[in-house]
Amino acid sequence: DIKVEFKMPKEADVGSSIELRCEWRIMSGSNLYSVKWYKDDHEFFRYVPDSSQRTQTFPRPGVTVETKANSEQRWLRLKNLALESSGQYKCEVSTEAPSFATTYQTANLTVISPPERGPEITGLSMQYAVGENVTANCTAWPSVPKANLRWTINGEPVSLENTVQHPPLPPMSSGNIPNSLGLRLEAEPRHFANNGQVKIKCFAEVGSRIYEAERRVMKAYVNNQKLSADDMHAAACSIHANIFVQLLTAILALVLLTT
């Protein structure tokens, strides 16, 4: 029997280097025959200790092996990672006679081209009144993989019915893909429960990384509301009555002074 433990990062950036480590132990009395490394089931490196050519490298797109001497080739280093480096990797260990056993383990790698910056929120006003429509847009900078976008209001997720899915945007010349997600809802009293302030956030998830943008808007208070027609008529009558009383008082005072 052979015990194999294969370790490698789940994610890495474009242009970086990673280490693939394959720890193995042969439980029976057999000797090691070979250690083979694969990407997407295509062999790219081989170690056969009893061969005249102990190590061999096979060219594969996105796979650049940094060959350094290490004990029984239990680890490899891949350098200059590209988007094509994403995929499934496998370490396969085989023994010689009499068992001729083969055991392998696999692991997946996602190569990320991160966005240059976090997402941007556009289209929001500074203030909103209760009942007013709130519309905004969140745009994620191009990345690979494409960013997954989501909204929150005061820390609570926004339901899908209040989001607007835009048509997919074409990739950039670099291969990076932009993305955007709209927000559309009606301002409710509960949104302004925090001292009349609403905290709106957009999150962009690229692999395991999370980028965010935040905007805060205030509740609009209407202090100078329009008066109804009856209110305006009553106000006018009150003003006229006050003027009449003031005028009558002035006339009486003048009469008293002249008598």
Asked if 132 and 32 count as a contact pair (C-beta separation under 8 A), the reply is no
CA–CA separation, 256 vs 2, rounded Å?
A: 124
- Exposure string (b/e) for 3-22, b if CB count within 10 Å is 16 or more? ebebebeebbebeeebebeb
Give all strands of the β-sheet with 177-186 in edge-to-edge order. 120-122, 133-143, 177-186, 163-165
| Residue 1: predicted pLDDT | 81
Architecture of the CATH domain 120-219 = Sandwich (2.60)
Whether 2-112 shares its CATH topology with 120-219 is answered yes
| Residue 207: predicted pLDDT | 94
| Residue 259: predicted pLDDT | 54
Q: Domain coordinates of the chain in residue numbers? A: 2-112, 120-219, 224-258
How far, rounded to the nearest angstrom, does the alpha carbon of residue 68 sit from its chain's CA centroid? 37
Q: What are phi and psi of 79, to 5 degrees?
A: -120, 165
| Residue 249: predicted pLDDT | 52
How far, rounded to the nearest angstrom, does the alpha carbon of residue 257 sit from its chain's CA centroid? 86
Asked if 211 and 202 count as a contact pair (C-beta separation under 8 A), the reply is no
CATH 2.40.110.10 for domain 2-112:
no
| Residue 147: predicted pLDDT | 97
| Residue 243: predicted pLDDT | 43
Q: What is the pLDDT along the chain (259 residues), one digit of tens a residue?
A: 899 999 999 999 999 999 999 999 988 778 999 999 999 999 999 999 988 889 999 999 999 998 765 667 789 999 999 999 999 999 999 999 777 899 999 999 999 999 999 999 999 999 999 999 999 999 999 999 999 999 999 999 999 999 999 999 899 988 899 999 999 999 999 999 988 999 999 999 999 999 999 999 999 976 543 333 344 444 444 434 454 445 445 445 444 555 5
Give all strands of the β-sheet with 197-206 in edge-to-edge order. 127-128, 209-219, 197-206, 148-153, 156-157
